[in-house]
Amino acid sequence: MYLEHFGLREFPFSITPDTAFAFRSRAQQRALSALLVAFQLGEGFVKVVGEVGTGKTLLCRRLLARLKGRAVTAYLPNPSLTPRGLMAALASELRLDVPARASEYELRSRIERALIGHSIRGVPVVVCLDEAQTMPAASLEQLRLLSNMETEKAKLMQLVLFGQPELENRLAESAVRQLRQRITVSIRLKPMRDTEIDAYLRHRLGVAGSVRTDLFEPAAVRALTAASAGVPRLVNIIANKSLMVAYGRGLPRVGIDETWCAARDTEDHRQGRLFQLPSWAGRGLLTTQGAFNQGLRP
């Protein structure tokens, strides 16, 4: 598409959480530092909450990368499982040889023996659960029971829950109050600051191979900042569409018109949840696809 036009090796604004493109925003660095401190202190339960698109999964992957060689880690990307399914997934992540028809009691026993073995060897175990707000109440209770596994001095494993704000509503329910009381560290992942957006764009363009990292004009950066509200996923979506429009029009850089066109074509703008564009923004512009196609006409 536009890779050759802008001198890129790969697409710079994919919404896939790729640690190679990780940008050290203030919010991300603070959250990662807090997680590493919690790991060093051996805290049992840690909660990370952030709005959709603020980079929770990327933060989780960065944490797992930092713990490599220092701990046994398990990553459960979809914990909306039954209690037995949750334990089976955890056993698989811990590379335990468990019969397919093992009972809940056997699964729990195998996991506990494995955790005790790691503890004896002085190797901590960290379990990260993404999208934790989707967990059924019974599975949340199973987590609490698993967290009971401990020696006289330390927990046998540390649990990190990553979730959307709905996770806090789930934890506020009376049925899971015992689990809520065990959360010793709570982290809120915030959007990027306005002053970070330009550096974020340049960083990702550089990683993608662009020699010229100022592909977005200053006015376009300001428009993108306003349109995205600093949410990384929205920044990526709008930036990618902006590059498409600029390419379709044969432009060497993205201007404010291309960015507003992309913003107006973005779902969260149409639903009005995150921002409202100025009344003059993008007047007369087509949708992103329309502008792209118009630019390609002979």
pLDDT digits (tens, 9 = 90+) for 223-250: 999 999 999 999 999 999 999 999 999 9
> What pLDDT does residue 148 have?
81
Q: What is the average pLDDT across 194-211?
A: 96
β-sheet bridge partners, residue 188 = 49
pLDDT digits (tens, 9 = 90+) for 243-281: 999 999 999 999 999 999 999 888 765 334 334 555 444
> What pLDDT does residue 297 have?
41
> What pLDDT does residue 176 have?
87
- Does residue 283 register a pLDDT over 50? no
Q: What is the average pLDDT across 84-93?
A: 93
The pLDDT confidence band at residue 94, using thresholds 50, 70 and 90, is very high
> What pLDDT does residue 249 have?
93
Q: What is the average pLDDT across 67-82?
A: 92
Q: Hey, is 142 helix, strand or coil?
A: helix
pLDDT digits (tens, 9 = 90+) for 104-118: 889 999 999 999 999
pLDDT digits (tens, 9 = 90+) for 117-160: 999 999 999 999 999 999 998 898 888 888 888 776 678 899 99
What tokens were used for 7?
A: 């001198």
Percent of all residues in the chain with a pLDDT value above 90, rounded to a whole number? 67
- Does residue 288 register a pLDDT over 70? no
> What pLDDT does residue 215 have?
96
Select the more confidently predicted residue: 293 or 114: 114
Tell me which H or E stretch contains 187: strand 183-189
Select the more confidently predicted residue: 292 or 139: 139
**DSSP 8-state assignment for residue 194:** G
Asked whether the beta carbons of 125 and 113 are under 8 A apart, the reply is: no
**How would you label 135-173 residue by residue, b for 16+ Cβ within 10 Å and e otherwise?**
bbeebbbbbbebbebeeeeebbbbbbbbbbeebeebbee
Question: Whole-structure pTM over 0.85, yes or no?
Answer: yes
Please give the mean pLDDT across all residues of the chain: 88
Give residue 186's identity as a one-letter amino acid code. S
Q: What is the average pLDDT across 1-15?
A: 94
Q: What is the average pLDDT across 39-68?
A: 94
Asked whether the beta carbons of 200 and 12 are under 8 A apart, the reply is: no
> Best-predicted range by mean pLDDT among 76-85, 99-108, 110-119?
110-119
Asked whether the beta carbons of 127 and 160 are under 8 A apart, the reply is: yes
Of the candidates 161, 44, 156, which has an alpha carbon nearest to the alpha carbon of residue 111? Answer: 156
Q: Where are the domains of the chain?
A: 3-9+193-295, 26-189
Tell me which H or E stretch contains 47: strand 45-50
Q: What is the average pLDDT across 201-214?
A: 95
Q: Pairing between strand 45-50 and 183-189? A: parallel
Q: What is the average pLDDT across 190-197?
A: 95
The residue to which tokens 């560290």 are assigned: 185
Burial level of 258, CB count in 10 A (0-12/13-18/19+)? buried
**DSSP 8-state assignment for residue 46:** E
Domain formed by 26-189, architecture: 3-Layer(aba) Sandwich (3.40)
